[in-house]
Structure 1
Amino acid sequence: MRRFAAVLLDMDGTLVDSDAAVERAWITWAGEAGVGVDDIRPRMHGNPALTTIRAVRPDLDAPAAERAALRQMELQYADLHDVVPTPGTDDLVTALRELGLPWAVVTSADKQLAAARLGAAGIAPPLLVTVEETPRGKPHPDPYLVAAARLGVDPAACLVVEDSQPGIDAGHAAGCTVAALRGLDADIRLDSLADLARLLRAEA
């Protein structure tokens, strides 16, 4: 760990435990679209809906893929059951406030879904960057580059916190240091966000 100028946090699976809701929506969509659940399961988390749909249904033309993505998002908008903060989120947000560290939520969700899930979890980020605001989503670096620019911070001075490989790849491509949950390989491995709160306080 070192001192960072800003912390950029993924939403789903990182700050917000929405795994069950995400998976319910994708399983329902897969049944409607004729896609095997086993085919889509490895792609359920971390990518924009359109990216996943293009991967599992390459036969769809652009308008059909857009319609499929809209349907998938409709399923997610309607399901906020059991969406809660992940363990350690409250401690981390408190630490960021105490330390005066700028932070942002950077998500592959759109504004409507991000607002709904963050609201359900009781999280009010000072900056929110959603999929509509960048030309390319994760695993491309654009979302994290936009967040760093809006905070007025060099990406190399930012810590990205992620729980999926596309997000980790996006953070590294942006030139950020990346901390990962769920045992994924990154510059820093975290068991929970409480670990990150402790590490940030230790470096203050």
Structure 2
Amino acid sequence: MIDIVASGVLFDMDGTLVDSTAIVEGAWGRFGAQHDIAPSTILAFSHGRQTIDTVRHFLPDLDPTEQRRLADELVADEVENTHGIIEIPGAAAFVRRLVEADVPVALVTSAPRDLALNRMRAAGVDVPEAVVTSEDVEHGKPHPDGYVRGAALLGLRAEECVAFEDAPAGLQAAVDSGATTVVVGELEDDVTIGLARVHGFDGIEVSAEDGTFRLRG
């Protein structure tokens, strides 16, 4: 249950608005097989983080140019693969309700722009006018840069916004930005303690109130 008053909404993408689990698991599974790393170990770290940060974490001794090449290959493969991508329950309708209520909305994702736009469109979720991707920040999640920038694009401070996130790295970034943070899904982690939670977006009501809005559900 949530009952939140804010001035803007900041959304993560994968696992929050879009379910691309099969594609992500397949890509990191192939990477793990090539480098003798258990896919489960990679996925436990990678969720919510930029691809290059994951490659650097697991292959720290690799030449930086080669790290970047591997990351670019992984991303290029995922950009073209949209098979099976679906929305998180109620996500598309919820984003539309926010926009129709003139609520400022930003997407804040660790994915590159092309990948993010392809996945949102494949899932049928409208892309907000304000978008922050991996190309737009110096430090990826769990650093709060992305959420601070997303709020600024809306003309707001992060403290005036509510952020929806599903992954430990992203949740830490949202919390550290000062945004009111809502967990999407089943994750139980130290960072989720005390946070509001939703399991989808069906039934969340949006009402505008003099420059702010209220979410109830």
TM beyond 0.5: yes
Distance change in 2, residues 1:37/1:90 (3 Å): closer
The alignment partner of 2:47 has SS state of coil
Measured in 1, the distance between the counterparts of 2:185 and 2:11 equals 15
Q: RMSD of the alignment, in Å? A: 1.7
* 1:116 partnered with 2:124: no
* 1:146 partnered with 2:154: no
Measured in 2, the distance between the counterparts of 1:97 and 1:53 equals 36
What percent of counterpart residues are identical?
A: 34
**Structure 1 portions without partners, runs of 5+:** none
Measured in 1, the distance between the counterparts of 2:21 and 2:40 equals 16
Measured in 1, the distance between the counterparts of 2:45 and 2:109 equals 15
Determine which of 89, 97, 103 is the counterpart of 2:105. 103
The alignment partner of 1:3 has SS state of strand
Equivalences for residues 120-131 of structure 1 within 5 A: 120-122=122-124, 123-131=126-134
The alignment partner of 1:203 has SS state of strand
**Greater displacement, 50-59 / 103-112:** 50-59
> How much has 1:175 moved relative to structure 2?
0.9
- Matching residue's letter, 2:140: G
Match of 1:177 in 2: 180
Match of 1:47 in 2: 49
Equivalences for residues 3-82 of structure 1 within 5 A: 3-82=5-84
The one-character-per-residue Cα deviations of 1:24-71 (angstroms, maximum 9, x if unpaired) are 111112222332223213124211001111111122131121111112
> How much has 1:177 moved relative to structure 2?
0.8
The one-character-per-residue Cα deviations of 1:169-197 (angstroms, maximum 9, x if unpaired) are 000111111001123325211121225x2
Contact 1:163 1:181 in 2 (8 A): yes
* 1:190 partnered with 2:198: yes
Contact 2:6 2:214 in 1 (8 A): no
Contact 2:51 2:75 in 1 (8 A): yes
Contact 2:99 2:105 in 1 (8 A): no
Contact 1:23 1:44 in 2 (8 A): no
> How much has 1:118 moved relative to structure 2?
1.2
> How much has 1:96 moved relative to structure 2?
0.3
**Structure 2 portions without partners, runs of 5+:** 208-212
> How much has 1:98 moved relative to structure 2?
3.2
The total of aligned residue pairs comes to 202
> How much has 1:91 moved relative to structure 2?
2.6
**Greater displacement, 13-22 / 52-61:** 52-61
Measured in 1, the distance between the counterparts of 2:13 and 2:35 equals 26
Measured in 1, the distance between the counterparts of 2:111 and 2:65 equals 20
Measured in 1, the distance between the counterparts of 2:51 and 2:92 equals 28
Runs of 4+ in 1 over 2 A off after TM superposition: 32-36, 200-204
- Matching residue's letter, 2:5: R
